[in-house]
Amino acid sequence: MSIPPNVVTGVASPAAADVAASAQTAAHKPQVWLRFHWVLAASVALLVFVFYSFQQFADPDIWWHLNNAEQLVTTGHLPTVDVYSYTARGATWINHEWLGELPYYFAFKAFGLRGLYGLSLLLSVATVLAILFRSYKYTGDIKNSFFMIVFCVLLTVVSYGPRMLIFGWLYLIFMLYALDRFREGNEKWLWTIPPLFCLWINTHGSWMIGLVVYCIVAASGCVNISTGLIETTRWPKRKMILLGIVLLLSGIVLFVNPYGYHLVKYPFDMAFHQKLNIQHVEEWASVDFHNARGKIVFAFVGAENGAWTKFFCWL
């Protein structure tokens, strides 16, 4: 005899049994006070703090930067000639990092050396956490994103301290995030890039790297490529036009600075005419593979090359 569909038989259906089992499992599951993502993010912040604690927190340029900022705040004018050198006093000079000096100056004015240390640590932690966030958002893999950011910390530790360069890192990460959102269909984020470059050129000379990266991202969508792990999708016509307009606006706003075209050409002047300065910039030097940091970086690179070798052999 068939049973009407609306009659309760007392025998639980498979679906109801699954729901009951899930509820029972959830009831006996231990409560997690911290999500795994937050634990890894806190670990990254702690790692940066450890590097700050064990290395010498010093930068020979910071006092010169603070004096520049003090002159700007007290007089309202930016320097146009060299007043620091003995043999080159009076020579034409521009302060190409004037905007990045102000936060450090106000932090030092308010809290002394602790202010300098705190602001530098805060900016460094914000940088690595921003990289971790973007990597996780882009890949969806928090574990591999964590190992990647540990590698990044080892590479960037030479720049930890009261450096204007850290602002350049933050600007670059923000620009990449804005391009990610634009790729997802949110066009409003693309219009934040021209004002970003206006800040960037007045803060640090790494704006040129940002412009190159922007062009690479824009150009990568001009063709369809699918080979191995490399895959690109062609931009729709509207997006290509918008990318071109934003690139043009970003180039124009570079001239919105106290020194005009002189500040725009400064990175090129440093690269081709200031050889002595370049030789003493540690970020541009090779990693020292004789110390502990270099050996760990070498191990990371070796492991990555091994993974790529296995991948190509599989292909």
Three-class secondary structure of residue 227 per DSSP? strand
Residues 6+ apart with CB under 8 A from 143: none
CA–CA gap between residue 56 and residue 60 (Å, rounded): 12
pLDDT of residue 103: 95
Cβ atoms of 233 and 180 closer than 8 Å: no
Q: Centre a 10 Å sphere on the Cβ of residue 283 and count the other Cβ atoms it contains.
A: 11
pLDDT of residue 111: 93
Q: Centre a 10 Å sphere on the Cβ of residue 217 and count the other Cβ atoms it contains.
A: 16
Residues 6+ apart with CB under 8 A from 28: none
pLDDT of residue 314: 45
pTM to 2 decimal places? 0.77
pLDDT of residue 264: 93
pLDDT of residue 18: 52
- DSSP state string for 102-167: HHHHHHHHHHTHHHHHHHHHHHHHHHHHHHHHHHHHHH--HHHHHHHHHHHHHHHGGG-SS-THHH
Q: What is the pLDDT along the chain (315 residues), one digit of tens a residue?
A: 444 444 444 444 555 555 455 545 444 444 434 476 676 777 777 777 666 665 656 677 888 899 999 999 999 888 888 888 878 787 788 889 999 999 999 999 999 988 998 898 888 888 888 888 888 888 888 888 888 888 777 777 777 788 888 999 999 999 999 999 999 989 999 999 999 999 999 999 999 999 999 999 999 888 887 776 677 788 899 999 999 999 999 999 999 999 999 999 988 877 776 766 666 666 666 666 666 666 666 676 666 655 544 444 444
- For the CA atoms of 221, 227, 230, 235, the dihedral, rounded to the nearest 10 degrees, stands at 10
Residue 221: is it exposed, middle or buried by C-beta count within 10 angstroms (0-12/13-18/19+)?
Answer: middle
Cβ atoms of 162 and 62 closer than 8 Å: yes
CA–CA gap between residue 105 and residue 62 (Å, rounded): 9
Q: How far is CA 136 from CA 89, 142, 144, 182, in A?
A: 50, 5, 8, 18
Residue 101: is it exposed, middle or buried by C-beta count within 10 angstroms (0-12/13-18/19+)?
Answer: buried
CA–CA gap between residue 230 and residue 258 (Å, rounded): 42
Selection from 300, 283, 184, 291 nearest residue 236 by Cα: 184
pLDDT of residue 27: 45
